[in-house]
Amino acid sequence: MIEYVRDENRARCAPSSNNVWEGLMDRRQVVFRSFVHSSFLLFSACVLCGCTVLGFGTGTLIDSGKPDKEILLPEGAPNLGSGDDVRISLVDSSFTDGTYEGKAYLDSSVYAARYAKFRQSMSSSTTFPNLGDTLRATLKPGKSQMTYLFCGFDLKSMDVQVPGQPNIGKMPFRRLSTLESKSGENLQPDLLESMSTKNQLPNNISLVVRTKHDTIHVPYDDIRFIEKANSKNAKWIGLGVGFVIDAVAIISISNALSHIGGGMGNMNFN
């Protein structure tokens, strides 16, 4: 009679059929979850990238509708931004190309010479104060009276200083009811405002422009008009905004799928 002896060591080392099957199921579940996750991400990227395309397309339409340049009169200079490319056409028919960097006061000696030349060119029937003259102003609407030292003209205003005070301020012509010199001569604020609007007064302010070779100061009253190059970057802004929206949506979907995929681990494939 033959006796069969169980080899306990071999029995312990050999994997059971149940363990093998469970391992295969685990691998199938991992592969299935990865496939579903990747498929959804690919589908989401194809669908949701529409925001990026839409943003780029909308920006392109906006850019195509903008002219290449904008024409500004001197009083439109406040619409300029630092870094704008400009061509400044001057009253002597010359022009200056460069990059706008801001506004600045003219050097006091330069402005004094320009103002003296202006006064000499005007007829004797029109009175203009000397720099440093004392002026008496009646202000709207309360008719209050003030005394100022005249420091020059600005755009639709004049630069004044209260006697004994160090700071120079601006007095808009529209706030003046009357304006007289110390000797009592009427300076006609309405006429001054009209001349300032037409760029006929020597302006104390200049545009600072960086050219290829130097940085120059261009007085307001030397300017006929300004050509400003329009930036056309709406398409890139739209592209960036659309991409961010798409990226946030795809990340949100990816996180949601990760949670769903975790639940798939409990699925029974038997």
pLDDT digits (tens, 9 = 90+) for 150-197: 999 988 899 999 888 888 899 999 999 999 988 788 888 898 998 888
Q: CA dihedral in degrees (44, 46, 49, 53; nearest 10)?
A: -160
- The pLDDT score that the predictor gives to residue 10 is 47
What are the average pLDDT values for consecutive 10-residue runs of the chain, which has 270 residues? 48 48 49 54 55 60 60 76 87 90 90 92 80 91 85 91 88 91 85 87 91 90 83 58 65 62 48
Q: What does pTM read for this prediction?
A: 0.57
- The pLDDT score that the predictor gives to residue 5 is 47
- The pLDDT score that the predictor gives to residue 99 is 92
Angle of CA points 226, 228, 234, to nearest 5°: 160
Give Cβ neighbours of residue 262 (< 8 Å, ≥ 6 apart).
Answer: none
Over residues 81-111, the pLDDT tens digits come to 888 888 898 988 898 999 999 889 899 999 9
Spatial distance between the Cα atoms of 175 and 53, rounded to a whole number of angstroms: 53
Name the E strands within the chain: 69-72, 85-90, 95-105, 134-139, 144-154, 157-161, 168-172, 176-181, 205-210, 215-219, 223-229
- The pLDDT score that the predictor gives to residue 228 is 82
Q: Where are the domains of the chain?
A: 15-63+233-264, 69-106+204-230, 108-201
Q: For domain 108-201, give the CATH number.
A: 2.30.30
Q: For domain 69-106+204-230, give the CATH number.
A: 2.30.30.100
- Single out the residue of 60, 84, 83, 67 nearest to residue 234, CA to CA: 60
Same CATH fold, 108-201 and 69-106+204-230?
yes
